[in-house]
Structures are given as C-alpha cells and as structure tokens.
Structure 1
Amino acid sequence: MYIEESYYFWRLAADLVVNHDFEIIQMIEDKHEVWLEQRIQGKTNVVRLSHKTFDWSNQLKQDQAVLDENIKRVLKVVGGRQVHIHNVYIAKFKPVDDWNEWKDTRSLPGRKKGTVQTFYIDEQSRETEINQLYRSLQLNEKNFPAPSEFEMEQMVEYLKQSIRNNHTKKQQQREQIFFYGKPFLTYILIAINLFLFGWLEYQGGSTNTYTLIQYGAKYNPAIVDGEWWRIVSSMFLHIGFFHIMLNMLALYVLGTAVERMFGSKRFIVIYFVGGIIGGLASFAFTPNVAAGASGAIYGLFGALLFFGTVYKTLFFRTIGTNVIFILILNIVFSVLMPQVDNGAHLGGLVGGFLASSLVHFPNKKEVGKQVASFLVITALVIGLGWYGYNHESNHYDARLQAGVATNYNKKEEYQKAIDITTKALQHTSSDQESLYFVRGNGYVNVKKYNQAKEDYLKAIELNPDFAEAHQNLSVLYYNFEQNEEEAIKHAKRVLELNPDNKEMKQFIQSVEENG
C-alpha cells in the first residue's frame, strides 16, 4: 500500500470522526476499510472509506456488488427516514479503462428513499473529490496539507490512535449513559407489588371487585367523594395472576433499563408521574374499577422514547427499534381489547415522557424545556382531575354499581348499598333495573318495605322478565303486606320465566294450602 494513499485514508477518517462527530459502524484495519455514520434531522449519512487500487473497471464492478451486500447489512443497524451512502475509494491511480458509469448517483438497494454515490480520490483528483464529498455531506470544504512522505508515515499512526481514542471515549460515554445507576428501586417496587397481590388473594381474591375497592383500586365514585389517594394506591394492586406476572416482567425489563440510565431518584419521579397521570386519565375517561402498574410502566416507555430524542443515533443503534416495535404492538393490542384501560396507558406514556424531560439525564440541563415540562405536567394533573371531577356521569356504570352495592348488602352494610345505588340512579339512564333491585334488597333489610316494593316494581317495569325481582316482590307481598293474591301472581310469573324454580313451587303450594 502506498503511504500517501494510506495517509489520506486515515486523515479523512480522523477528520470525520474527531471533528465532525461521525460514529464508527465498523473499522477493518487489515482490509483498509472504515464505515462511518452521522444522523441529521431524520437523514443519515453513511461514509464507506476504502483504500483499494483498481486496475480495471471490472474490478470496480465486483467491489460494487460486495458494497451492495454490505449496505444491506449496514441498513439493519442505522436509522433515519433517508439513508445516503457515500462510497469513497482512495487510490493512487484510476482504472485504465472506462469506469465513469460507477460514479453516477443511484438508488439505495432495497429502499425507496436513499442514494449511493461513489467518490474516487486518486492522486490527480484528490482536492476536487474531497471537496465534492464534503459538500455532499453538507460540511465545509476541506483542504488537507500535503506533508512529506516521512511526516505522512508518522502521522498515520497518530491518526489511527486519535480515531481509537475517540471511539473509546464515546464507548465510555455510552456506558455512562446506560449504567449510571443501579436498579434497586425497581426490585423494591416489584417486591411491594407481589406482596400486595398475595395480600389481596388472602383477603378475598384479586379478581373480586369488592376486595379491590376495599384495598384501594381506582373506583371513580369514591375518588369524586375525596379519596384521591386511590390514584396512587391503585398502581400497586393487580387483577389476577396473568396481570401481575405480565406487569412485573415489564417492570423488570423496562425499570432496570430506565433506572440505570436516569438513576434512582429520577427513575422514581418518572415512575410515579407516569402512574399518576395515567391514573388521572383513567379516572377522567374510564368508569371501570381499575388497578395495576400499567400507567407507570407506560411511563417507562415514555422515558425510553425521551432517550431517543436526546441520543438519536445511540437509540436507533441499540434499543430503539425494539422499543418502538413493542410499544406499537402494545398500543394495537390495547385498542383491539376493549377491557384494556387505554386512558391509563396513553396517559402514562405522555406522563413518563414529560417527567423524563423534567428531570433530564444526569449531568444534562435544558432549563427552558424542563420548566416547560413541569408546567405541562401540572396542567395535565389539574386538567384531568378537574375534568373527571366535573363529569360525574362518566363514573357510573349501572351494573358495576349494582355489583358493588350487592357486596355491601352481603357484608350487612345496607345503608352503604342504598346510598351507592341511589347516587348511581341519579347519573345513569341504562340498566337501571339492576340498581332498583339491589336497592330494594337493601330497603328490605332496613325494614323499609314500602320503598323496597316501589323499587322492585320499578325494576319489573323496566324489565318485565326480571325473575329475581318478581320473586323478592312475591315474598314481600306475602310476608309484610299479607297480600296473597299479588304474592301468587308474581310467584307464578317467576315459574313462567324459570319453570325449574323449586323454591317458588314450594312457596305457591304453601300459600295455597294455608289460604
């Protein structure tokens, strides 16, 4: 290899790496080949420097075929909407036959957006080709000095070492980014969630709605009544084994990564801001009882996306593609599954991103953006809370409220059951028959029989085929009003709806015998 070509090869590589912040994709010293990358606003410039001599254009053609295969490999690790390959040959002489067709800019193999452009830097066209390369890279034109052969020889090792030092420094910086902290808070959060899941199972079951509400699940009517702490407590409760295992696996994978990058203090802020905004979004838009760390976990997704805005090249060369793919997959799954709390997920994602912008990375400050993030977080918390509080009709699902009230009746907390159903009836217009029925049961147990009869009759008016309401009304007429005729009428209606009801058959027989 000629020392002059070797010098310009390493001089170009060193200038792009050290002075223009190009990243090394691959450096193969024994083959005198270096691949470099730089991302600018969605556009990626890839430079392939090759120190080779071609006597004939056919040799150049063969190398272009190898180049295309290498480009396909490189495209798997570089990001950007547009990728432009700058293929740079450094040689003493041009091929002796016609080779100019290979200098034409062509489309990127396998991609719609992108180009491949070849530059041939030989002894005669060195300055022209280098300047053309730099213009193509949108850099200022460069005029490299031409030292003596002895100086070139000395400089080559220096240039190689400067590239290695720069690469080592960037690797250390990357390690500092990925391994700033230790993920002990992630493990503590996992332990707390698992402990509370076991406690729920012991107390009545994690899938039991009454147990969930009793121990702090997101229950909108209670939040409207002032129990705002449920926004936080619900982050630590889970509904069923699959739910806890899926969320804890996600927390382990995402939590350890985010806590290592941001440090424990910043991590806990991101986790709770994501969880709280997710919980408030769920409160504002979803009436269902909800629990789980999903909002906080989506907040960790938001933190990784924020990482991608700060370290774009590093993001796409490491975790970026996987993060975006998993996030899109989760969002699609959430949209297709109606029982998934999309409000909590999207709220957590936005909250985590904003919280990451607020705390930022260690040793990094962007005061303007951090203040803006704080203001947006504050506005979201207040806005979602205000919207949820002032739109009570969003919080009452008749069947859910009837189920909750039924649990209170079973616990002999009859007045609570009556209060819940009464309030729900003020805010719902569908499925009201179940609310009247449950409230009627509550009235019977507090010996308000007239109110109970009115509720049972209202339930039957809304749903004439409500067998349980007919049955309870029949018993009420017989035991508390001594109205055998109405008791028999409703009992027979029960048998019309359910001929196998032995209890009603015996009831009718007993009434008729006594009558």
Structure 2
Amino acid sequence: MSITNDIKNAFRQPNNTLKQLIIINVLVFLVFLIIGTPLSWMGYGWIEKWALYYLSLPSQPIELLTKPWTLITYFFTHEGFFHILFNMLNLYWFGMMLNEYLGSRRLLSLYVLGGLAGGLLFILMYNLLPGFTMRSGQLIGASASVLAIVVAAATLLPNFTFNLILIGPVKIKYIALALVLMSWAFAHESSGNAGGNIAHLGGALIGWIFIKQLQRGSDMGRPILAVTDFFTNLFKRKPKLRVTHSSFTGAKPQANGSRSSKPARPDQNEIDRILDKISSSGYESLSKEEKQKLFQASQKD
C-alpha cells in the first residue's frame, strides 16, 4: 500500500485525531523541506520565506487583519527539524493519554484552543507591555497547542509516571512544571524566542483551565467542535436515499428474542467523579465498571 493511501486511511478512520494532527504537521514541514531546498539552490529562497510569512502569525493586529487565517495555520507550521521533532513527540506521548481518557474530539478542541490562546497572548504582550511594544515578530510552531495538552494531561493525571532516559520514573506533573518554568524563564525580552515562550504560557494556562472546567461539567471545546463539524459536513458526501417497500413494520428480533440496544451514555456527574478519582488515585484504582463507563463516554464525545 502506498504512503498516499496510508494517509487517506488515517483521515477516514473515526476517532483518529491524534494521528491526523501529527500527519498534518509533518506534511507541512516536509513540503517546505522538499520544495524549499532546491529553490534555495536556484536562488529562489525568497519563495519559501514568502510562503512561511503567509502561514506565520504576526504580532501586529493591523497585519493580522490582512491574513487572519494565520491564527490557525501558525500552529501547524514548523521551521527546523528539532522544532517539529520535540513537538510531535510530546504531542504523541501526552496526546495518547488524553485520547484514551477524554476521547479524540476533546483532544482536537484542546489542541485548537491551546493554539488560539497562545497566539492571542503573543499578540497582546507585544502590543500592551512596554518591554515588547517597540518590537514586532512572527510566530510559528505547535508548541502552545502541545503544551496545552501536556498541562491538561498533568492536571488530569498528575501522578502518572513516565520512565525518562538517564533519569528514570518521573511523575508527569513534574515534567509539565519543568516545561512551564522553562517557558517562563525564556519569555524574557532579551530571549531570542520571547514571543514563542509567551505563546507556550498561553497554551499551558488553557490546558489547566480546560480540565478544571471539564471536571465541573463544562466543556470549553464545544464551540470549536461545532465549527469543525460544520465544515466537515460541508464536504461530506450525502448518501443517496433508497426507498423500499415492506409489509413488516415491527422490529426484527435477535436470536435470543431481545432487541438490540446501545449502552446508555454515562451521566456527566458520574464521569466527573471518575475523573476526580483518576486525578487523586490514578487510573489503576478504577473498577472494571468505571473503566467501561469512561470508555463509553470517550467514544461518544
């Protein structure tokens, strides 16, 4: 099977948001890498810079008005191999956790919310604070979205442990704290990437708020999902209607004489209680019934 078919299948499969996000980021990076290199050989490197400019988020609001799409495109665009490598690794590791416990749709909404929050904080800081008002910049990279997912995972499952090379077992709440402190330290105006680190902090904040609101029964991601569903339905092929006639109107019984039925959706209060239990005691403390209820909720959201 070709790579093209593998990519198509990844986008056809339901509940496959994590893989889709990684594929989009990698494809954008590869396009710049494959096309940009020969262009630079021929003296047309300005074309790559021009394309990068029209995908990156500007710090000036007036400039943003001329390319508003960059509020989205910037967090799918990377420059530099290690830039995308570390972002995609963190997205995969921590995204797998959220995908399992909260479902792929909430993972998507958090990724977008983290990117939006990081981008807006970047613009605000560069236009309101004296240390930045005399400067301008362009923002690219998924770091704000990824840090939102990292902090969300650490807020939901603070005692979950990763085995780090050369270090050993470390609870993810300490990994998230270290990443946030690093972003805070390098958000200084003298830093070469102050704007990027400011965006990281915006993403981290939204990740924490997202989980806290979810535990209170409020899903911040619903507006994001409503927008994505709208555009998805625009391009979805509608099935052709087929009229059939039958004299039998009753439900078809199964072999055991009972009708098929889907399991009932778990109550939101019950899901919140399970999430609180995971946060305090870990996923392993859940009973088989509680794990099943959490799985049902993640499949239906």
Say whether residues 1:307 and 2:156 are aligned partners.
yes
TM alignment of 1:91-240, pairs within 5 A: 184-204=16-36, 209-214=49-54, 216-221=55-60, 223-240=63-80
Q: Which residue of 1 aligns with 2:202?
A: 347
| Cα displacement (A) at 1:322 | 2.4
1:236 and 1:293 in contact (8 A); partners too: yes
Work out the CA distance in 1 between the residues paired with 2:107 and 2:116: 14
From the superposition, tell whether residues 299 and 223 of structure 1 become closer, same or farther in structure 2 (CA, over 3 Å): farther
Q: TM-score, normalized by length of structure 1?
A: 0.32
2:111 and 2:148 in contact (8 A); partners too: yes
Structure 2: where are the runs of 5+ without partners? 1-13, 38-44, 127-135, 163-168, 225-301
Q: How many residues align?
A: 180
From the superposition, tell whether residues 366 and 236 of structure 1 become closer, same or farther in structure 2 (CA, over 3 Å): same
From the superposition, tell whether residues 229 and 264 of structure 1 become closer, same or farther in structure 2 (CA, over 3 Å): same
Q: Percent identity?
A: 24
Q: Which residue of 2 aligns with 1:297?
A: 146
User: SS of the counterpart of 1:339?
Assistant: coil
Listed one character per residue, the Cα deviations across residues 181-204 of structure 1 (whole Å, up to 9, x for unaligned) are: x97211111111110001122443
Q: Which residue of 2 aligns with 1:326?
A: 175
Q: Which residue of 1 aligns with 2:106?
A: 266
TM alignment of 1:419-498, pairs within 5 A: none
Q: Which letter maps to 2:192?
A: Q
Q: Which residue of 2 aligns with 1:427?
A: none
Q: Which letter maps to 1:339?
A: G
User: SS of the counterpart of 2:139?
Assistant: coil
Work out which of the residue numbers 127, 151, 159 in structure 2 matches 1:316: 159
| Cα displacement (A) at 1:272 | 0.9
From the superposition, tell whether residues 186 and 257 of structure 1 become closer, same or farther in structure 2 (CA, over 3 Å): same
| Cα displacement (A) at 1:299 | 0.9
| Cα displacement (A) at 1:335 | 4.1
From the superposition, tell whether residues 278 and 210 of structure 1 become closer, same or farther in structure 2 (CA, over 3 Å): same
Say whether residues 1:366 and 2:249 are aligned partners.
no
Q: Which letter maps to 1:218?
A: L
1:196 and 1:237 in contact (8 A); partners too: yes
From the superposition, tell whether residues 241 and 283 of structure 1 become closer, same or farther in structure 2 (CA, over 3 Å): same
2:56 and 2:140 in contact (8 A); partners too: yes
Work out the CA distance in 2 between the residues paired with 1:211 and 1:229: 13
From the superposition, tell whether residues 247 and 317 of structure 1 become closer, same or farther in structure 2 (CA, over 3 Å): closer
From the superposition, tell whether residues 349 and 356 of structure 1 become closer, same or farther in structure 2 (CA, over 3 Å): same
Higher-RCO chain (CA-CA 8 Å, sequence separation at least 6): 2
Work out the CA distance in 1 between the residues paired with 2:182 and 2:171: 16
Work out which of the residue numbers 123, 144, 152 in structure 2 matches 1:283: 123
2:151 and 2:176 in contact (8 A); partners too: no
User: SS of the counterpart of 1:354?
Assistant: helix
Q: TM-score, normalized by length of structure 2?
A: 0.52
Say whether residues 1:254 and 2:94 are aligned partners.
yes
Greater gyration radius: 1
| Cα displacement (A) at 1:250 | 1.0
Work out the CA distance in 2 between the residues paired with 1:241 and 1:324: 27
| Cα displacement (A) at 1:325 | 2.1
- RMSD between aligned alpha carbons? 3.1
TM alignment of 1:78-93, pairs within 5 A: none
Say whether residues 1:356 and 2:211 are aligned partners.
yes
| Cα displacement (A) at 1:220 | 2.8
Structure 1: where are the runs of 5+ without partners? 1-181, 309-314, 379-515
Q: Which letter maps to 2:125?
A: F
